[in-house]
Amino acid sequence: MRALVRAFRGRIRPSAALALLVLCGPVQASSDAAASPKGDAAFGEYLSGTCVTCHQVSGKATGGIPPIVAWPEDQFIAVMNSYRSKDRENQVMRTIAAQLNDEEIAALAAYFGGLILQPDTKK
């Protein structure tokens, strides 16, 4: 499953690795400072209402909307931080990320990270 997720990611988000490299330093530092609290998945599920209008909860990806299910939480956090800091390009995602604080991004990472990519998600 993890291999499948990674393969999916690698294909659809070629620049995600760069975002991770750039951002994992500060993310790691702030996580350490906050004693690495794990995100509140129930809170994340509520917040996810905004995400799943575009990103399918099954993990299915069509058109230009990538899957966001079953990512490692640290990577999810790094990518969201890159939108929040306006490093990564996308007006919708920048606007969505701008309203989220660290706790909320962690909650989303915990929720989506805990979902399973459903087997019938390939078109």
Partner 1 sequence: MMINRRQMLAGAGALTAAAGLGMPVVKAQAKPRVVVIGGGPGGATAAKYIAKDSQGAIDVVLVEPKETFVTCFHSNLYLGGFKKFDQITHRYDKLSSAYGVRHVRQWANAIDRDKREVVLGDGSRIGYDRLVVSPGIDLRYDSVPGWGKEHEETMPHAWLAGPQTQLLRKQLDGVKDGGVIVMIAPPNPYRCPPGPYERVSMMAHQLKSTGRTKSKIIVLDPKEAFSKQGLFQQGWERHYPGMVEWLGPKIHDGIKSVDPKTMTVTTGFETYKNCAMVNVIPAQRAGKIAIDAGLANASGFCPIKPESMASTLDPNIYVLGDASIAGDMPKSGFSANSQAKVAAMMIRGDLVKARTFPARYANTCWSLIAPDDTVKVGGRYEPKPDKITASETFVSKTDESADYRKQVQAENMGWYDGIIADMFS
Q: Hey, which residues does 65 pair with through a beta bridge? A: 62
Can you tell me which of 5, 22, 24, 96 binds partner 1, judged by CB under 8 A? 96
Stretch of 1-9, 22-30, 77-85, 96-104 contacting partner 1, by CB under 8 A? 96-104
CA distance 46 to 61: 21
Identify the CA nearest to 19 among candidates 99, 98, 74, 101: 74
Can you tell me which of 62, 86, 119, 122 binds partner 1, judged by CB under 8 A? 62
Q: List residues near partner 1 by CB under 8 A.
A: 42-43, 46-47, 49-50, 52-58, 60-65, 91-92, 94-96, 98-99
